[in-house]
A and B are shown apart, each in its own frame.
Chain A
Amino acid sequence: MIWKTAWKNVWRNKVRSLVVIISVTIGIFGGVFAVAIMNGAIAQRVDAALNQEISHIHINDKAFRDNYDIQLTIPDGEQILKEIEEMPGVSAVAPRIQITGMASTATKSAGVEIIGIDPEREKKVLNLYDTTIPGTGDFFESESSSLTAYIGQELAKELNIIRYIVDEDVLAALTGKEVPGEVLNKLTPFVGIRFKNEKAFKKALKGSLTLKEQRNFGKSIRDAAWSFRSRSKMTLTFLDKTQMQTGAVFRIAGIYDVRNSMFEMSQVFVKNEDLIPLTGMAPGEFHQLVVRIDDLEATEEITAALKDKLPDLEVMDWKEIQPDLAMMTDMVQRFYAFFMVIILAALAFGIVNTMLMVVLERTKELGMLTAIGMNKKRVFSMIMLESVFLSLVGGVLGMIISQVLIGITARNGINFSNYQEGLEALGYTSHIYPAISMPFFITVTVLIILTGILSSIYPALKALKLDPAEALRTD
């Protein structure tokens, strides 16, 4: 009965209620959608880390991670590999050699981690191979008589392996992408020039395009002029097991793009069989085992089992390898809650005001109700329910709208290409698929109800203080 009365009361002054409802709707929608974008970005980051960068569990010598000493291989590695492979819950294991070295081309050099892998096994623990940029080759699939390396896009740019060339094809492709003729005309002087790297090309574009043109078309132009000469090569230099400087020329097998500049800049993959002869290591020796498991939920259990099994080695799960990943998720969750609470607090002011108005407006009516025997508890709950209804209607509307919009945007993602460089430097992609979990909606619903209750307390107390006789006399 009280529920019904409260609900009907909401609609007695439609305009006033709608203002409150709309403000709650907007607040909840804005908050939830902003959270969905951040949440999506983090989920993608974790996903990329687990599937392209680190996988689930690493096993290596206890001192290996201190400074990647080449001497610290896993004793009886092959045997351990086989044993782990057969453990229940483990889906794949891959051996790795890891050496710190330098990659250089004729003009440039950079410090890198040289990672020796067994391509077939590696494919089962990580799907990095899937991120090969089309046209740059593959993940050690095609036969090659020379040594080959699989490198990241950022490193390729840094070493001038990727160049920028504008030719007729590029202009044609850009016409297809609706770049206006005016801009294309400005590009014609560049036809035939070979720009050594992205920065040089950007500088040239800066000189001839207006700021607006650069902003609108710069990225499409750079993507179109992006050029890679197949079978480019680079030299990898490092110290071998006897601490002598060694190295060899590697041809580029393929270039990957994981949208994480730091990873792309530092991780160079080569085949174990190519690397071993250079290092002075024995065939079958390696530094690290990368383990992929069937079920992510079982990470801790399997890590513990591996720790028991291999007391002399360091076993780390992904949370230990990249503690910032787990912590980031944690911190962002706290931030979401804080953000929603701030919005709800702002909404509460509006609700308190409205409810206060409601009570003052209905002084006579409330007096009448009390006079004919409605007890205080019921009066209190009637007002509280009205307030909860007000906020809940707006909240549910807001959540529905955000869910719909999240659904729409999640299909193609939202591209924050203006911030690509900055985001990728932190390891985040700029193409974000908003996502939200159901528990978050439940939390928000609870928070909304709480807001409704809290903001009705003061007005409801006001109503209780009314003296029926006095209230009846007001007009």
Chain B
Amino acid sequence: MNNIILAWRNLWRNRRRTLITSASVFFAVLFALFMRSLQLGSYDHMYKNVIESYTGYIQVQQKDFWEDKIVDNSFPYDLQLDQKILEDENVVATIPRFESFALASNGPQTKGVLVMGVDPEKEKNLSKVRDRMVKYRLTPEAIDRIKQDPGIPAKVKELTELFENSAYTNASRLQLDLGITDKDAPDIMPAVERHSHFENGAIQLGEPGVWVGDKLSEYLQLGIGDTIVLISQGYHASTAAGKYEIKGIVKLPLPDIDNKIVYLPLDICQGLFNAENNLTSLALAVNDNEDKAILETMNRIKSLLSPELRLMEWREMNEVMVSQMDADNKSGMIMIGILYLVIAFGVFGTVLMLTAERKREFGVLVAIGMQKKKLASIMTIEMLLIGFLGIISGSLIASAIILYGVDHPLVFKGEFAKMFEEYGMEPMMAFTGIDTYFIWQVVIVAMMVFLAIGYPVRKIFGMKVVNALKA
């Protein structure tokens, strides 16, 4: 206890030095935590987007479907199996799907599209495609109406032109694009929402009709009520062709999919491909999506499946994205590594000076009878205190920023946002909450301090008292 008190007092003998050294540690911890939180948060967000709007965490598929995504590699929808899977403790719902590739056309315009046969009711448990329906759109008519509304400020009116024809699934993005502050929102937003309101119809099992992605509808120049023609190859090489009325427009947060997705009711889709009652995948919605829980769930369900079927995990289904995130993650870690190396030298330099400066003091202490061991332990405690001062203050400030950031992700606007979309990413960066990565940063900084302590400790033990007194 005495040692700690002595160390603490020593710290404040040279307040400035203590503070500067702590500040460098503080800076490293703050920056590293901030960056990690943004990086990890963005990955989580992207994984969540793709998993929740497309693949799901686990899928049951015919054993060759993933390698060879053809309609022939579909499997019969077995309700008994479905029931058995639903009995698993971690499975919330099963979502049957039939997906394939087709050529979509509207007279002169054609485009390869991803046709997804879904059960709209069951999709609620996973992709929530209904939440992705376009609710507002700044059509030229909507912009006209907004411009004629005297209650809307001129700045907002100007901005509408920049976003002509943009579609929105929620009001907050619309508000952001139009530069309306939260304070003004209650006065302005209701009118803007009313003017730009976009009406969608539903699709239902048994009723022909489709929902198409926003980007796709733009490309094909098709709107609600128009007809889209789908041509493809059906089950056992039969021809698949059909025309359907567009009932609604969806906007998915994955631009790569948004520009090619066509949702059909499951049974209509099976009919189109002449594969009645077959599925290409049965996605599972789960309660607990931690890696361990997913693995356990997969192991339990595996035993229920016939050898013709197999389970796919989200990582396998999104290999490319996982590899991209991994590359980005590694580059972020290298940057933090460089930063830490620099800070480590800074800390070491301080320790070096501190030792040289106090050589005489050490000599005196040992000469009047202080054990070298005790002196060394005081030094160690001193250094640890400096380190922890930096670590604790750094993590506190970082936590405050991160906790705020979790609820307020960075959302990009304008040109910058467009570039993100070109790369198939949603124009935003999310923070991840306080998690194990916090501990890692703290451990690394603590190790740095420990390494630096080696120098003064060695100096103390190798000290010749007479020489030290003369210093």
Contacts and interface: CB of A to CB of B under 8 A. Distances in A.
B78 interface: no
Interface string A156-178: 00001000000000000000000
A328 B232 CA distance: 37
A112 interface: yes
Contacts of A20: 345, 349
Given A23-B346, A67-B221, A422-B326, A109 B233 contact: yes
Interface stretch (A52-60, A341-349, A435-443): A341-349
B105 A239 contact: yes
A354 B349 contact: yes
B338 A353 contact: no
Interface string A45-73: 00000000000000000000011111100
A357 B27 CA distance: 21
A34 B335 contact: yes
A31 B327 contact: no
A327 B324 CA distance: 20
Interface in B401-434: 415-416, 418-419, 422-423
A231 interface: no
A342 B35 CA distance: 12
A419 B27 contact: no
B68 A160 contact: yes
**Residue among B64, B108, B337, B346 with the most chain A CB within 10 A?**
B346
Interface in A261-313: 261
Contacts of A420: 323
The dominant DSSP class at the B interface is helix
A19 B69 CA distance: 60
A27 interface: yes
Nearest to B421: A324
B70 A107 contact: yes
B67 A350 contact: no
B423 to A, nearest CB: 6
A299 B276 CA distance: 56
B442 to A, nearest CB: 17
Interface string B43-74: 00000000000000000000010111110100
A16 B356 contact: yes
B288 interface: no
B159 interface: no
B28 A423 contact: no
Given A239-B110, A346-B27, A357-B353, A199 B66 contact: yes
Interface in A362-418: 416, 418
Contacts of B418: 323-324
B334 interface: yes
A324 B422 contact: yes
Given A23-B342, A100-B110, A107 B68 contact: yes
Interface string B8-32: 0000000011001101100110010
A31 to B, nearest CB: 7
A264 B353 CA distance: 59
B208 to A, nearest CB: 21
A331 B210 CA distance: 39
B67 A67 contact: no
A200 B67 contact: yes
A110 interface: yes
A226 interface: no
A19 B70 contact: no
A449 B72 CA distance: 68
Contacts, number: 185
Nearest to B25: A349
Given A237-B103, A239-B110, A26 B341 contact: yes
A23 B345 contact: yes
A124 interface: no
B220 interface: yes
B346 A346 contact: yes
Interface string A25-44: 01100110010000000000
B115 to A, nearest CB: 12
Nearest to B114: A111
A34 B338 contact: yes
Given A101-B110, A349-B27, A423 B324 contact: yes
Nearest to A328: B419
B352 interface: yes
Contact of B232 (A15, A109, A243, A425): A109
B384 interface: no
Given A67-B220, A69-B108, A102-B112, A346 B24 contact: yes
Contact of B419 (A69, A200, A331, A350): A331
Given A27-B342, A111-B103, A343-B339, A422 B419 contact: no
B320 interface: yes
Contacts of A107: 68, 70, 72
Interface of B: 16-17, 20-21, 23-24, 27-28, 31, 64, 66-70, 72, 101, 103, 105, 107-113, 219-221, 231-233, 260, 319-327, 330-331, 334-335, 337-339, 341-343, 345-346, 348-350, 352-353, 356-357, 415-416, 418-419, 422-423
15 contacts: A16-B352, A19-B345, A104-B233, A108-B69, A110-B101, A197-B67, A239-B105, A243-B107, A245-B231, A328-B419, A353-B21, A353-B24, A419-B330, A421-B319, A422-B323
Given A20-B349, A360-B357, 19 more contacts: A19-B349, A23-B346, A34-B338, A67-B221, A69-B109, A100-B111, A101-B103, A108-B70, A245-B231, A346-B342, A347-B346, A349-B27, A350-B350, A356-B16, A419-B330, A422-B327, A425-B323, A425-B324, A426-B423
